[in-house]
Amino acid sequence: MNGDDPASRQGNGRRQRHALRQHWWAWAAMALVVGVVLVASIDTSPSRGVSEQRRYALSVQLKCLQCVGESVAASQAPLAVQFREEIDSQMRQGRTDDEILAFFAQRYGQEVLLTPPSSGLGALVWVVPVVVVAAGVLGLAGVFARWRREAGARASEEDRTLVAGELARRHQDRDPEPAGPRDPDG
């Protein structure tokens, strides 16, 4: 695929061919392409109006209270059918998504919304994971910082000899070629 095989290449030619990979502009070009694609993919279709898509998007956010663990989009229960009809009629009246969801929440309580609230006690379900993850990342960063400060433990000369000997033995076992300077890039 990319000609990375260490045994068959000589270091110099490879280095030249791969020099491109170390240039920042090559990577910037990639980022640019991805950026343009992402911008181009932004969906501009309106979120108002009557459409199957919109009805589906709304009904997956509503819980079918008559059934067990199903959304209004999935269920065929009479209540779910009635909800879907109501969504249709409200879409025709030009209501926004938030207004339609609020309509159901006002009548059936918070429970009917599958999205937990963004205020009050219920908001904790959004906040707690973020806090826990942030704390975890900070903790890990702290541990790394401490390790770096204490980076005292170094390999002793004895360790180095041991490792070098072992590597030499290994390569003798494995390589039919005489051990020459190997390409560091493997």
Partner 1 sequence: MSRRTAALVGVVAVVAAAFVWLLATHSPSASTPTGSAAVGRLAPALTGTTLAGSAFDLDDLRGDWVVVNFFATWCPPCVAEHPELVRFADDNRDRAQVVSVAFDDTDERVAAFFRENGGDWPVLTGDTGAASLDYGVVKLPESYVVDPNGTVVAKLDGGVTADELQAVIDGRTP
Partner 2 sequence: MNRALGLAGLLVGLGGCVIGIGVLAEGLRRDRPHLLRMGLPYALVSLAGAVLSTIAMQRALITRDYTVEFVFDHGSSSTPPLFNVAAMWSALEGSILLWGLVLAGFTVAVAWRFRRRLEDPLVAWALITMFAVGVFFFGLMLTAANPFRGVVPPVGYDGPGPNPLLQNHILMAFHPPMLYLGYVGFTVPFAFAIAALVTGRVGEGWLVETRRWTLLSWGFLTAGIILGAWWSYEVLGWGGYWKWDPVENASFLPWLTGTAYLHSVMVQERRGMLRVWNLSLLCATFALTILGTFLTRSGVVESVHAFSSGSVGPILLGFFAVIVAVSVGLIGWRGDQLRSPGRIDSPVSREGAFLANNALFAAFAFVVLLGTVFPLIVEAVNGERLSVGVPFFSRMTMPIGFALLTLMAVAPVLPWRKGTGEVLRERLWWPAWGGVAATVFALAVGATGPTVVLAFGLAGFAAGSAIRQLVLATRRQGWRGLVGRANGGMVVHLGTILVAVAFAASTSYIRQAEVTLAQGQTSTVAGHEFTYLGSRTVERDNRVEVISEVRVDGGRVYEPRLNRYRMGGMTIGTPSVRVGPTEDVYLSVSSTPDPVTGEVTIRVIVQPLVVWLWIGGGVMVVGTVLSLFPGRRRDPTAPASAPVAERGARRDAEIVT
Q: Which two tokens stand for residue 117?
A: 């609230």
109 belongs to the binding site for partner 1 (CB under 8 A) = yes
CA 167 to chain centroid: 39
Q: How far is the CB of 34 from partner 1 (least distance, A)?
A: 41
The residue to which tokens 């204490």 are assigned: 150
Q: Which two tokens stand for residue 68?
A: 């067990």
Per-residue DSSP letter, 47: S
Nearer to partner 1, 57 or 113 (CB): 113
- The residue among 53, 55, 57 whose CA lies nearest residue 87 is 55
34 belongs to the binding site for partner 2 (CB under 8 A) = yes
Quickly count: other Cβ atoms within 10 Å of residue 63's Cβ.
20
107 belongs to the binding site for partner 2 (CB under 8 A) = no
Sequence-ordered alpha helix ranges (H) in the chain: 11-17, 24-40, 52-59, 78-92, 97-108, 124-149, 157-174
70 belongs to the binding site for partner 1 (CB under 8 A) = no
By CB under 8 A, name the one of 9, 66, 71, 88 that touches partner 2.
Answer: 71
By CB under 8 A, name the one of 10, 16, 46, 69 that touches partner 2.
Answer: 69
Task: Give CA torsion, residues 170, 173, 174, 179, to 10 deg.
Answer: 70
By CB under 8 A, name the one of 70, 86, 97, 183 that touches partner 1.
Answer: 86
The sign of the dihedral angle between the CA atoms of 174, 176, 178, 181 is negative
Chain residues binding partner 1 by CB under 8 A are 65-66, 78-79, 82, 85-86, 105-112
Tell me which residues touch partner 2 (CB under 8 A): 1-2, 4-5, 18, 21-22, 27, 30, 33-34, 37-43, 45, 52-53, 56, 60-61, 63, 68-71, 73-76, 109-117, 121-122, 124-126, 128-129, 132-133, 136-137, 140, 144, 147, 150-151, 153, 155, 159-160, 162-163, 166-167, 170, 184-186
